[in-house]
């Protein structure tokens, strides 16, 4: 069994036309939750029962603040600008297995800590929006647009070629 190390999960945000890594991260955390509706039936013997209702997720990260912004990395200053402008951000988390998570969210909390004699750090919280997905699911659903539902044949090889050029 191969265990995954935290440094193997890389976090990116979409800036302009592509994803750039968020620089100097030291940790990140993903949380999914579901709101439950309390129900009780005659068959439950007076015990509370629950039914899942609305799902949601959040993401948090922390890292080190660096002085000079690099053009190919997202810095604390970039994150602060995204938060202050209430920007809906596209994120991606890459994994060694090739299973990548894609999601959107708003930065809801951003803090900076500067203890004397130590490195300056930051932490950020993201409230997820919509349904998070992985690239396999996204690509399969996009690919299915080019397949005829009745017999499973490809409608247009040109469309499929264009699709693959977009995702590569």
Q: 66 vs 34, which has greater pLDDT?
A: 34
Q: Which helix (H) or strand (E) holds 31?
A: strand 25-39
Residue 69 within any structural domain of the chain:
yes
In a domain, 49, yes or no: yes
**pTM here?**
0.73
At 138, the pLDDT band (50, 70, 90 cuts) reads low
Average pLDDT of the chain to the nearest whole number: 83
What is the DSSP track for 88-145? -EEEEEE-TTS--EEEEEEEEEEEEE--TTS--EEEEEEEEEEEEEEHHHHHHHHHGG
| CATH code for position 100 | 2.40.30
Whether 157 is covered by a domain: the verdict is no
Does any domain span residue 2? Answer: no
Q: How many other C-beta atoms are found inside a 10 Å radius of the C-beta of residue 127?
A: 14
Range of 23's domain? 7-134
Residue-wise pLDDT tens digits, 59-92:
999 999 987 766 788 999 999 999 999 999 999 9
Is 32 part of any domain?
A: yes
In a domain, 16, yes or no: yes
**Number of domains within the chain:** 1
Count of residues in the chain: 168
Helix (H/G/I), strand (E/B), else coil: 13: strand
Asked whether residue 127 is assigned to any structural domain, the reply reads yes
């Amino acid at each position: 069994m191969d265990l995954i190390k935290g440094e193997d999960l890389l976090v990116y945000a979409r800036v302009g036309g592509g994803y750039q890594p968020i620089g100097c991260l030291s940790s990140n955390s993903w949380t999914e939750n579901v709101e439950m509706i309390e129900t009780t039936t005659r068959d439950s013997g007076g015990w509370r029962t629950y039914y899942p209702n609305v799902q949601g997720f959040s993401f948090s990260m922390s890292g080190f603040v660096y002085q000079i912004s690099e053009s190919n990395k997202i810095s604390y200053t970039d994150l602060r600008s995204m938060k202050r402008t209430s920007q809906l951000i596209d994120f991606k988390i890459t994994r060694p297995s090739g299973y990548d998570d894609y999601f959107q969210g708003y930065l809801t909390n951003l803090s900076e800590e500067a203890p004397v004699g130590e490195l300056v750090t930051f932490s950020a919280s993201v409230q997820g929006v919509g349904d998070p997905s992985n690239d396999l699911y996204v690509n399969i659903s996009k690919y299915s647009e080019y397949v005829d539902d009745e017999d499973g044949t490809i409608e247009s090889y040109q469309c499929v070629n264009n699709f693959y050029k977009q995702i590569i």
